[in-house]
Chains A and B, each alone.
Chain A
Amino acid sequence: MAALPKRIVKETERLSKEPVPGISAVPHDDNLRYFDVTIDGPSQSPYEGGLFRLELFLPDDYPMTPPKVRFLTKIYHPNIDRLGRICLDVLKSNWSPALQIRTILLSIQALLGAPNPDDPLANDVAQAWKEDQSKAIETAKQWTAQHAARPTA
């Protein structure tokens, strides 16, 4: 495997030294481009109290191309589909190498706080969200309790 670019080393160091509140990203020992990520559900959102697991992979072309990020925890959200794929412009056409792992994870956390059913990836969820928002929020809360419960210590 080619040497890890300095930029990735720097980002990883900073993620562990100055972690973002409510977010953790830890690289695998045997693949330093592959991160185990957790994001706390934002307060005052249907995901509050949940702990969401994600995987993040830095492709060879990073930072010229965006990281690949996917939810591993099941989540009821109009912009996240059944496979955990995320509809977020900065992960696609609006990517810029000035963005970093931490900024991307912050954007994903913000997306949990502000679901956008008008730009859906999960069409059925978006549809439900538009038809009856309070019912959709109730479902999202149920899913959070069921799938994103914190491990009890």
Chain B
Amino acid sequence: MKRFIGFIKKEFYHIFRDRRSLFILFGMPIAQILLFGFAITNEINNVDIAILDHSKDASTEEIINKISASKYFTIKQMIANEAEIEPAFKKGKIKAVLNFEKDFSKNIIKERKATIQIITDATDPNTANSITNYVNSILQNYQQSENKSIQIDYQIIPQTRMVYNTELKSVFMFVPGVMTIILMLVSAMMTSISITREKELGTMEILLVSPLKPFQVIIGKVVPYIFLSVINAIVIVVLSIFIFKMPVQGSLLLLGLESVLFIITSLALGILISTIAETQQAAMMISLMGLMLPVILLSGFIFPISSMPVPLQIISNIIPAKWFIIIIKGIMLKGVGMAFIWKETLILIGMTLFFIGLSVKKYKIRLE
């Protein structure tokens, strides 16, 4: 035990005497969460849109009023016909055009169905996607209030998304993703770098010649990062709650335990990487390319998994981050308990054991 404490102390010396480590560990998470937080917050505030209203009746007027009253949209322009849509986009000022069909009110009453076309500027697919969702929410909101007063069921646009995030703040959607990325980065990349560093310097050999067993060396290297990652997770949650007023619906304890599980998964990945990589450079590249990129692209953090091509949807299943994001979104945004996330939790545990097993095997081969 005394040996162990000495080992951990030494690991902290390494971390606190290295600017790069300090930056990755503490600068980056805070910068990322603030950046994402504010960038996303700005994105959904006051997006400029144009309206093309072919009906100009009571219903469309009310919907337009609701839209302009929301802080998400600013109606920049009323346009008269389809021919003006393209010039409006080309000027670059507006991000979307809402096109109300002819006889909107009449259709609602007669056909119980009216159509509104949402044309978005898809050069920025995320913004476009958000805009669609926001408009949909406003429409749904309108329908609900109308349905109550006039007692007829009708539909403007089927609305499925954003059910849980009722306040429509998409920063809430990003916090779980950012947290996942940061925990992954700190745990997997930092451990793989710090282990390969010892290999590169030759100190790993000295440690292996000492009476310490290989697994003791690895645990000694990993424990400080568990500790630091937990601190990071806490900082992220606290920032989200106090700066972005993010409500954490579910149990904080469960959130904590699941985070520790994911941290261990990431550490196992980091160890696996360090059995493959011979240099710090290689460890860093493998971590970035092999972990960060899939996490960003395939975990559902930025691009919804449901809108990916099927092969990518299948691949996304082997990405631990995907499951962790489902878990923490569930806990943070929906307030679910273990009953709803046990499957994802088991998958993460299984993956962790697999990575550890693989590392042990690789490690043995290396020693042959």
A binds B: no
